Amino acid sequence: MKFLITGLLVTAYLFLSGCASLDEKWSIDQQSFKANTSNLKIGDIIITSKDWKRPMSWFGHSAVMVSKYKVGEYPEPCYGYYETDIILWLREKKEFTALRYKKFDAEFKTAFLNNLPETKDKKYRITSKTDNGSFYCSQYIWYLYWKTAKDLGRVLDIDKNGGYLVTPSDLLNSKYFDKVVF
């Protein structure tokens, strides 16, 4: 019963607020997949536009650069973690914005890369952002950054509103990131 109530509350939250909150700015750059991907670096977050034709994309989608040429993501239920070549991945995306953590230095990068292996091979599930037993797209990124900062003795919550769930919009509007210029 508790699981059912929690599930209904999470579903209601996603459908009623999601990335469409009135007080948040949702602006995706109109960049084509032919953008110069050499400007992307490990740790950069890519936020795609909302896709009203696909219910799982009604809130946008987010993925993270896990190597020079690969993006890591939890795309949808039944897939779990997935890595794709960035050129192939962006070819399917019509509009996107790339974000870079303002304090992503060499020390942060090393800790970030050390945390990648333990975040793979999880199930896709919408859950509390601090739950590392399963992930969804934006929670996966939130957790990577939160855990990396914690390992370095820092406190970091890249979720704009600090809520129970984290959405692509929370990342897009976080004060901790700058947009990557192509």
Tell whether the model's pLDDT for residue 35 goes beyond 70.
Answer: no
- Quick: pLDDT tens for 51-98: 555 555 556 789 999 999 999 998 877 778 989 898 888 877 667 889
- pLDDT higher than threshold 50 for residue 48: yes
Q: Where residue 21 falls among pLDDT bands split at 50, 70, 90?
A: very low
134 bridge partner residues: 123
Domains of the chain with CATH codes? 28-179 (3.90.1720.10)
Identify the bridge partners of residue 48 per DSSP, sorted by sequence position. Answer: 61, 96
Hey, how many other C-beta atoms are within 10 angstroms of the C-beta on 33? Answer: 15
Work out the pLDDT band at 105, boundaries 50, 70, 90.
very high
Q: What is the pLDDT of residue 94?
A: 62
Band (115; pLDDT cuts 50, 70, 90): very high
Evaluate if residue 20 carries a pLDDT over 70.
Answer: no
pLDDT band at residue 17, thresholds of 50, 70 and 90? very low
Tell me how far apart the terminal alpha carbons of the chain are, to the nearest angstrom.
49
Q: pLDDT value at position 25?
A: 47
Note whether 78 and 38 are within 8 A (CB): no
